[in-house]
């Protein structure tokens, strides 16, 4: 059976790219590890944020829809994206969010305290202290290894058919049941980051894709060989899975699970260092080879974004 280590990346739809950059880099302190374009729509950015090295399990990606309509968070989607912060750093984050006028509240789930808030475009985010996972060394805008976001803690799934979704997590992706509390059922994988999936089994309105919603959640395969085995295994369980798609920084396959959430399985390699050095990740617009001859036209169509510090 295929057993993923956990979340590889989560991709969401947002609005203005500079607002997106200011929030995730300036306030949350994540590193922009790749600035590229949507493979299906090269006139739009695809931005990747993560830890200092752009490691699997830390990458939040965004499709900015500058004139996009607002979506609705509901079934068939990831409800909340949870980030892991070092033990003892919660007071730092409460102060930082307050200083930047980000409204938040605290929630307790499975004995853990979550700092819950929305990004400027409506994405639901959480911070939770975790001992697991390497610390990020990215120092931008007042961050430090003692307080910086490590990567994903996990995600909350809003399924239109929770039983099917939970069955797939167990028998298709190798997660293990880890408890039930109220409307939540928890699953755990063997990785150190992105290893917790909470399924919210309460009844909810159907989600509508648009800005402020998650487009898909991707799970890790250690290499292409494991991905091919996983694809065959999932097809055998009755799912329709895409052929392998080359996303330059990883290979990807996609399928919609029976709770209507779009799942991806992405390979850990080759990673984000194949076209930029570690010290210069995210500094230049990197285009897929097939669009390189249209660079001037593409650059002219994109809104210029720049790194700037916040208070």
**Res. 311: pLDDT tops 60:** no
pLDDT single digits (tens) 119-128: 999 999 999 9
User: How is residue 303 annotated by DSSP?
Assistant: P
Average pLDDT over residues 14-41: 95
Q: Is 290 exposed, middle or buried (0-12, 13-18, 19+ CB in 10 A)?
A: exposed
Average pLDDT over residues 146-164: 97
Give the pTM: 0.96
């Amino acid at each position: 059976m295929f057993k993923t280590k956990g979340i590889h990346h989560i991709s969401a739809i947002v609005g203005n790219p500079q607002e997106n950059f200011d929030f995730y880099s300036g306030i949350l302190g994540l590193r922009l590890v790749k600035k590229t374009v949507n493979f299906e729509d090269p006139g739009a950015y695809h931005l990747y944020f993560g830890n200092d090295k752009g490691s699997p399990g830390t990458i939040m990606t965004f499709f900015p829809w500058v004139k996009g309509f607002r979506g609705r968070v509901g079934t068939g989607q990831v409800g909340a994206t949870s980030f892991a912060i070092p033990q003892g750093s919660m007071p730092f984050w409460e102060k930082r969010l307050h200083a930047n006028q980000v409204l938040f509240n605290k929630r307790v789930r499975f004995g853990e305290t979550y700092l819950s808030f929305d990004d400027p475009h409506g994405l639901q985010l959480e911070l939770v202290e975790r001992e697991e996972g390497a610390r990020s060394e990215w120092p931008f805008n007042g961050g430090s290894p003692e307080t910086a976001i490590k990567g994903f803690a996990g995600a909350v799934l809003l399924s239109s058919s929770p039983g099917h979704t939970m069955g797939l997590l167990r028998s298709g992706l190798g997660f293990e049941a880890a408890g039930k509390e109220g409307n939540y059922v928890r699953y755990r994988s063997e990785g150190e980051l992105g290893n917790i999936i909470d399924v919210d089994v309460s009844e909810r309105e159907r989600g509508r894709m648009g800005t402020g919603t998650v487009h898909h959640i991707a799970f890790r395969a250690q290499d292409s060989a494991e991905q091919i085995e996983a694809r065959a295994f999932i097809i055998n369980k009755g799912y329709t899975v895409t052929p392998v798609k080359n996303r330059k920084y990883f290979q990807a396959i996609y399928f919609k699970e029976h709770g209507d959430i779009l799942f991806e399985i992405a390979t850990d390699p080759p990673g984000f260092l194949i076209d930029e050095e570690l010290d210069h990740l995210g500094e230049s617009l990197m285009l897929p080879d097939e669009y390189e001859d249209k660079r001037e036209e593409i650059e002219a169509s994109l809104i210029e974004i720049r790194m700037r510090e916040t208070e």
